[in-house]
A = this chain, B = another copy of it.
Amino acid sequence: MKSVSLADISKFIRQQGIANDIDGDPEIAVSAVNTLEDAQPGEISFLSNPRYHRMLPETRASAVIVTRQTDAPDRLALVRTDDPYAAVAAAIVRVHGYRKHPRWGIDVRTTIAASARIGENANIGPWVSIAVHAEIGDNATIYPGCYIGDHVTIGHHVTLFPNVTIYDRTQIGHRVTIHAGTSIGQDGLGYAPRDGRWIKIPQVGQIIIDDDVEIGAGCAFDRATLGATRIGRGSKFSDLVVIGHGAKIGQDCMVVGQVGIAGSAVIGDHVTLAGQVGVGGHLTIGDGARIGAQSGVVSSLDGGVEYQGSPAVPSPDFRRQSAAIQKLPELVQRIRDLERELTELRQRMDNGERPGR
């Protein structure tokens, strides 16, 4: 692996808008970025979370990105910055770059409808199916086993990992990445009851995914019954996330693994949903809200606030409730004591005890 000087890394980090200074030899050759635990000589690591500070004396890394205040052994070359996490992200880009995909061109074992249009410089693996009237932009990378339904439109610089399914009439913007096994645009759970049975409602809507979205593995994003499910620009989703029919997700949201968002929910911009959160149907969540792991959102929530719990409440309320629940068994005892003491006191009065005896 080609190596890069520490000075080069520092300069690249600065170019990303992150001020930093080298404390040590700027000419050190760096071949990889690694964790404090796994780093080898010639590699650079980072310390962002203080709980890992104890690993600093033991790391075999040659250089470490740290905060301006961090105490570190003299033998380590340091890159000091106010934001080590952002800095190491930049360092990884500089040293490693992004994943290189296999080059297939357009594999002959792919089936592409005559009416489909594929942009320039396409990189499409074997056993991909592209149905009638689909349109795919330039520089697409589509791994083996993907299915692209009829009338799907996909922008430029899109990457679909293996075995992704895109249902008919889905619209996907530019620079979207979708990981393996994810399914986009299937029917939501739309049925009308009749005589004790469920009659399927044709799901004639679609799903529209805006630019710069990344979706993890094994997700399932439903099309709308009518109109469109919408995923806003720049939002990021981890694995096994479910989006119900007709939900609208804003821009630059961060959605962690196993989150489920029910149909017709409306999520604002810059919303964070931590792991396993559930959001009920037809609710709204305001811009910048942050919902803690496993929370259950059962009513609409204002933006800019942190929530937790099932049902989700503002985090300070949740912490007070949690603390009180932890003390509940003790409270039960205290109530029992109060009842006993009160009875004693009443008996003393009823018995005509002379006060002060």
Give every chain B residue within 8 A of A200 (Cβ-Cβ). Answer: 98, 214
- Give the shortest distance, in Å, between A88 (CB) and chain B (any CB): 8
Write the A323-348 contact mask toward B (1 if CB under 8 angstroms, else 0).
11111110110110011011001101
Contact between chains at A327 and B334 (CB < 8 Å): no
Q: Among the listed B197, B219, B335, which residue makes an inter-chain contact with A252, where contact means beta carbons less than 8 Å apart?
A: B197
When C-beta atoms are compared, the residue in chain B nearest to A125 turns out to be: B129
How many angstroms between the C-alpha atoms of A324 and B329 in the bound complex? Answer: 6
Is A73 interfacial (CB-CB < 8 Å)?
Answer: no
Task: Choose the segment among A19-27, A74-82, A184-192 that binds chain B (4+ C-beta atoms closer than 8 Å).
Answer: A184-192
Is A240 interfacial (CB-CB < 8 Å)?
Answer: yes
- Give the shortest distance, in Å, between A282 (CB) and chain B (any CB): 7
How many angstroms between the C-alpha atoms of A213 and B130 in the bound complex? Answer: 28
Contact between chains at A33 and B342 (CB < 8 Å): no
With A187-B179, A256-B189, A293-B296 known to touch, is A222 a contact of B194 (CB < 8 Å)?
no
When C-beta atoms are compared, the residue in chain B nearest to A110 turns out to be: B126
Is A136 interfacial (CB-CB < 8 Å)?
Answer: no
Contact between chains at B220 and A217 (CB < 8 Å): yes
How many angstroms between the C-alpha atoms of A225 and B46 in the bound complex? Answer: 12
How many angstroms between the C-alpha atoms of A179 and B163 in the bound complex? Answer: 13
Interface of A is mostly: loop
How many angstroms between the C-alpha atoms of A204 and B352 in the bound complex? Answer: 79
Give every chain B residue within 8 A of A220 (Cβ-Cβ). Answer: 179, 181, 216-218, 239-240, 257
Give every chain B residue within 8 A of A305 (Cβ-Cβ). Answer: none
- Give the shortest distance, in Å, between A137 (CB) and chain B (any CB): 19
- Give the shortest distance, in Å, between A138 (CB) and chain B (any CB): 20
With A89-B199, A320-B329 known to touch, is A354 a contact of B351 (CB < 8 Å)?
no
Contact between chains at B320 and A324 (CB < 8 Å): no
Is A35 interfacial (CB-CB < 8 Å)?
Answer: yes
Q: Among the listed B219, B325, B352, which residue makes an inter-chain contact with A328, where contact means beta carbons less than 8 Å apart?
A: B325
Contact between chains at B183 and A179 (CB < 8 Å): yes
Contact between chains at B183 and A226 (CB < 8 Å): no
Contact between chains at B356 and A351 (CB < 8 Å): yes
Give every chain B residue within 8 A of A339 (Cβ-Cβ). Answer: 334, 338
Contact between chains at B132 and A144 (CB < 8 Å): no
Q: Among the listed B99, B238, B258, which residue makes an inter-chain contact with A202, where contact means beta carbons less than 8 Å apart?
A: B99
When C-beta atoms are compared, the residue in chain B nearest to A95 turns out to be: B204
Is A201 interfacial (CB-CB < 8 Å)?
Answer: yes
Is A66 interfacial (CB-CB < 8 Å)?
Answer: no
Is A72 interfacial (CB-CB < 8 Å)?
Answer: no
Write the A268-290 contact mask toward B (1 if CB under 8 angstroms, else 0).
00100001101010100000000
Smallest CB-CB A-B distances: 6 pairs: A352-B356, A220-B239, A165-B180, A324-B328, A183-B217, A147-B162
Question: Could you name 14 residue pairs across A and B whose Cβ atoms are closer than 8 Å?
Answer: A33-B204, A88-B201, A143-B147, A186-B217, A189-B237, A189-B256, A198-B236, A257-B262, A276-B296, A324-B325, A324-B331, A338-B342, A351-B356, A352-B354
Supply 18 further A-B pairs (C-beta < 8 A) apart from A99-B203, A320-B328.
A35-B227, A38-B227, A89-B191, A92-B204, A96-B204, A111-B126, A161-B186, A179-B186, A180-B183, A186-B239, A187-B216, A240-B260, A257-B262, A258-B258, A293-B298, A321-B329, A341-B346, A355-B355
